[in-house]
Chain A
Amino acid sequence: MKRTLNINRKDIELRFDPAESLLHTLRNHGYTEVKSGCEEGECGACLVLLNGKAVNSCLIFTSSLNGDRILTAAGIGTLHEPHVIQQAFVDCGAVQCGFCTPGMVIASYALLQENPEPTEAEVRRALSGNLCRCTGYVKIVEAVLCAAERLKSER
């Protein structure tokens, strides 16, 4: 099948199998920052923003989309122009193996869009669809709160 989606602010024509998940379509088209950890909506490594909302791309049929807007972690910020959240993850030591990080960044971005000044409990709840085995989440939560603080002072 063929379909055009707006990925990281560019219209991209995608080719995919009718039973394929958005996760596989994205990865097959080079968006490898979207990671595959369980393919059952439990680990959150495959999180992307679909029309502004964080979703598990492994649970979405690409065929069910058309023209939708998708943002991946690389669409939020790049090595040369990182987003405040990504920089906060780096500064706070929230990245260990980094496999869950793009998904964590997406979840954090979605949270801070909706709720720019979250409490620690709200951060923890917002990240509850993302598993990390390396950090114990301590520094990830710290990074999200730090990013919120930095974004606030930027406003």
Chain B
Amino acid sequence: MMNKKYSSIGKDEKKIDALALATGSRRFVDDFELKHCLHCKLIYSPHAFAEILEIDDSAARAMGGVVDVLSYKNTPQILHTSAGQGFPEPSPYDQYLFDKTVRFVGDRVAMLVAESPVIAEAAAKKIKVRYRLREPLFDPEKAMDADAPKLHGAECYTPIGASYDPQRNLAAEVDLGFGDLKQGESDADLIIDKTYRAHYGSHCAIEPHSVKTYFDEEGRLVILASTQVPFHVRRIVSRVCEFPIAKIRVIKPRIGGGFGGKQEVLLEPLAALVTLRHKRPARIVLSREEVFQNSRTRHPVRVRLRTGVKKDGRITFLEMDSLLNSGAYGSHALTVLSNCGSKVLPLLNKIDHLHFLGRSVYTNLPVGGAYRGYGATQGYFALNQHLDILCRELDLDLPEYLKKNHIREGETSRVFEALGEGKTGVRQYVNSCKLDECIDICTREIGWYEKHGKRIRQDDKVRGVGLAVAMQGSGIPLVDMGAASIKMNEDGSFNLDIGATDIGTGSDTILAQIAAEVLNVDLAAMIVLSSDTDRTPFDVGAYASSTTYVSGRAVRKCAEKIRDQIIAVAAEMLDVPAGKLQLAHATAEDPESGKRADYPEICRYAMYTANQFQIHAVASEFVEESPPPFLAQTVEVEVDTRTGAVKLLKLVSAVDCGQAINPRLAEGQIEGAAVNGISYAMTEEYLFSPNGSMINKNFKNYKIPTAADLPEIKTFVVPSHEPSGPFGAKSAGEIGINCPMPAIANAIFDAVGIRLFEAPFTPEKVYKAMFAQKDSQ
């Protein structure tokens, strides 16, 4: 085994906060008690597109216990984006905290501030708003028409100078390619041209978005936030609330799941404003309904794929045309769009003629944002079905086809360089890729060669199997940065302070494992503090599958500095040359002389004996590449030929995430993402009324699975080693969500010969497709 030489890396260490969470002692934002706290209730637009003519809050303000009503009239009017990204953000500046125009059903109109949640709720109903209605735009395909309603004015802009044209409802555009499509077309024996549609989805973190703010004893603003991006929260709040960064402290306690939904800086500025205005603590916690409609979603994307192929399966050209529905604002509109190509197309790196056209457009519908998978999920839904279609057309075996055509170790793709996250990318080579092994495991475990194409039938039920593959990234190259600080205590323990943001993923644990490995101590010797902007160094936050790779490298570098200091102190103390000392089991030893000192002795020496100093170091890392993890997933389904009901019988995942720092936690990431993907494929769906209002904004009607709904799920973490990663690690957080939807679609086709281009695969949809097929035959 590759990890034999490690003491902590590759071990299934228990998550360090797990017991405190299981016994309920670790706190989430809303678990902190604040005395004399003000409670806030947002008021939302019932119209998809309208101008606010008048807000009459007199009746509400007259109620006892009502403290304030915020709206565009009394809040700073600063254009910004709520996308919690690095600075300057690649998303357009097209939002105010409160605006005079509302652009989707659920857009903010005002916020009631009161002494209790009950009063806030009651008073919110007394706000009277007069609107002038405007014709809404719901169809993204028509968004760029000359006569389409325009959502945003010319004052909106993109701070990074990306393609952006509010006059055409164009929130972002990417247009690139190489080679010559015409040549590719003439080389082709067959052209396959299909259109796939990925739909809206909600993150459904079980903890709703929450924030609490207060002034500390010294008049600094403290923000307790349920966020993935504490440092971006501090920066954005400072800007839109016009309050200095030096006077803001953001603390991230435990977070009840994020999945991208809490990368958005939605509530923090509002609570901050209340505290700034009234010098009192403030609390905003969204209801489940608000999370569905008023926070952020997965961007729906329509992907048209056109490929030319030779009879042997070689792809002569590929053209991807992606239309992303950004909803009312352009949060992550450019980068999700980019990733729909940049995280997907490099997988097939042997195509000479390629073109990617991506457009994100505004509509008067709920707003997209970051969501696990981040465009790749939408792109892979198209690509994996497309390759299944291709193989069936040419009578090729999909697993073998994929193995022959995917990018391999030592290879690059021109797409890496051409397309980054919203700008040109970075040239990089793949230095670890075990996708062949992943495919082999998945096909073996599902019984591919016994079942594929066999349409095994029992009574009304027919079985089929499907396969999908994916890659993702590990952070954003040349953008993402993480940092760590470590200091040593006199009992041989270490404070590890990291900006990295554990939102339930276990990053506190795996980053501590990395430090423990370098320092030759047990995990228990690491005391972890993460994401407190006053106490920990900077980190971009939990997104883009970056934490293990980017922050992990920072932690390793920092721990190495500490190790060097420990050795230097021990050398002085023991009077042996530093080069002779070895560290093992929290002890420095010179094997030759047998002289040794354990960590408590070394630290005490440094603190109290001679040349006193604190053993302490800070290190940060930014990365120049983003090594992709790889994944294969296979599923077996059973389709009821009478009703169209699809039952998932089994799902197998095999992932190459480099060296798993903690295999059990890595499995947990893949399993959770896989089930999120299953759920997106099978039941999740935004339903809208004709006026653009989401009508199923609760768990009663927006269905995610329970434990009783899921089949056998097997996960394999394939041995791998990424040379640039900390101890060989890559990422595992997002990739697992990319394959269930296409794999299930492919399996349904395998069972009943129905190709479904849009999920969820409800019984009704499958039945109607089967019926239509019967009719046409």
* A residues adjacent to B (C-beta < 8 A): 17, 27, 30, 32-40, 42-43, 45, 72-74, 77-79, 82, 86-87, 89-91, 93, 95-102, 105, 121, 123-125, 127-141
Binds A, one of B11-19, B216-224, B333-341, B766-774: B11-19
- Measured between alpha carbons, how far is A89 from B668 in the docked complex, in Å? 13
B288 touches A37 (CB 8 A): yes
- Most B CB contacts (10 A, CB to CB) among A39, A42, A91 go to A42
Max chain B Cβ within 10 angstroms of own Cβ: one of A105, A121, A137, A138: A138
Other-chain contact of A78, B23, B204, B257, B288 (Cβ < 8 Å): B23
Closest-by-CB residue of B relative to A143 is: B22
Contact A133 B707 (CB under 8 A): no
Contact assessment for B21 and A101 in the assembled complex, using a CB-CB cutoff below 8 Å? yes
21 contacts between A and B (CB under 8 A): A34-B24, A37-B206, A37-B256, A42-B698, A77-B22, A96-B15, A97-B21, A97-B206, A97-B255, A97-B256, A98-B17, A99-B207, A100-B206, A127-B708, A128-B708, A130-B706, A132-B206, A133-B676, A134-B672, A136-B668, A139-B664
Verify A139–B671 contact, CB threshold 8 A: yes
Given B255, B256, B259, which contacts A35 in the complex, CB threshold below 8 Å? Answer: B256
Residue contact A79 to B207, C-beta cutoff 8 Å: no
Cβ B671 vs Cβ A99 within 8 A:
no
- For residue B351, CB closer than 8 A to chain A, the reply is no
B700 within 8 A of A: yes
Known pairs A40-B698, A97-B206. 8 more at Cβ < 8 A?
A90-B15, A96-B15, A97-B254, A100-B256, A105-B22, A136-B672, A138-B715, A140-B707
Cα-based distance from A106 to B574 in the complex (angstroms)? 55
Judged by a CB distance under 8 angstroms, whether B155 is at the interface is: no
Specify which chain B residues have a CB less than 8 angstroms from the CB of A35 in the assembled complex: 28, 206-207, 256
Mask for B3-38, Cβ within 8 A of A = 1, else 0? 000000000101101111111111110110100000
Q: Does B665 contact A (CB under 8 A)?
A: yes
For the complex, is B614 an interface residue (Cβ under 8 Å from A)? no
- Does B478 make an interface contact (CB < 8 A)? no
Residue contact A90 to B671, C-beta cutoff 8 Å = no
Q: How far is the CA of A40 from the CA of B701 in the complex (A)?
A: 12
> Are B23 and A73 in contact, CB atoms less than 8 angstroms apart?
yes
The interface size bin for chain B is 35 or more
Q: Are A98 and B671 within 8 A (Cβ)?
A: no
CA distance A27 to B24 in the complex (A): 12
- Once the chains are docked, how many angstroms separate the CA of A73 from the CA of B674? 28
Residue of B nearest to A107 (CB): B707
Q: Contact check: which of A40, A45, A79, A131 meets B23 at CB < 8 Å?
A: A79
* Distance in Å: Cβ of B285 to nearest Cβ of chain A: 8
B254: contacting residue among A74, A82, A98, CB under 8 A = A98
Listed stretches B65-73, B94-102, B145-153, B500-508; interface member: B500-508
In the complex, A141→B708 CA distance in Å?
10
- CB pair A93–B715 under 8 Å, yes or no, is no
Q: How far is the CA of A76 from the CA of B346 in the complex (A)?
A: 51
Q: A30-B33, A93-B665, A97-B207 are in contact. Are A38 and B698 (CB under 8 A)?
A: yes
Whether the pair A93, B668 counts as a contact (CB closer than 8 A) is yes
> Counting CB contacts under 8 A, is B78 at the interface?
no
> Is B394's beta carbon under 8 Å from chain A?
no
Does B456 count as interface, using CB distance less than 8 angstroms? Answer: no
Residue B590 CB within 8 A of the other chain: no
Give residues of chain B (455-510) contacting chain A, Cβ–Cβ below 8 Å: 503-506
A95, B12: Cα distance in complex, Å: 13
Q: Which B residues, 84 to 119, have Cβ-Cβ distances below 8 Å to chain A? A: 118
Tell me if B430 counts as interface (CB < 8 A to partner A): no
Q: A40-B288, A131-B206 are in contact. Are A33 and B14 (CB under 8 A)?
A: no
**A136, B675: Cβ atoms closer than 8 Å:** yes
In Å, the complex CA distance between A32 and B207 comes to: 13
A136 contacts which chain B residues (CB < 8 A)? 668, 671-676, 710, 713
Contact residues in A for B674 (Cβ distance below 8 Å) = 136
Question: Which residue from B22, B255, B259, B707 sits with its C-beta under 8 Å from A95?
Answer: B22
Is A93 in contact with B15, judged by CB distance below 8 angstroms?
yes
In the complex, which residues of chain B have a beta carbon less than 8 angstroms from the beta carbon of A91?
14
Q: Are A74 and B704 closer than 8 Å at their CB atoms? A: no
Q: Are B22 and A134 neighbours in the complex by a CB distance under 8 Å?
A: no
- Alpha-carbon distance between A90 and B17 when the two chains are bound, in angstroms: 9
Interface status of B699 (Cβ within 8 A of chain A) = yes
B112 to chain A, nearest CB (A): 18
Cβ of B287 within 8 Å of any chain A Cβ, yes or no, is yes
Query: Does the CB pair A43–B24 fall under 8 Å?
Result: no
In the complex, what's the smallest C-beta–C-beta distance from B738 to chain A, in angstroms?
15
Assess the B504–A98 pair: CB atoms within 8 A: yes
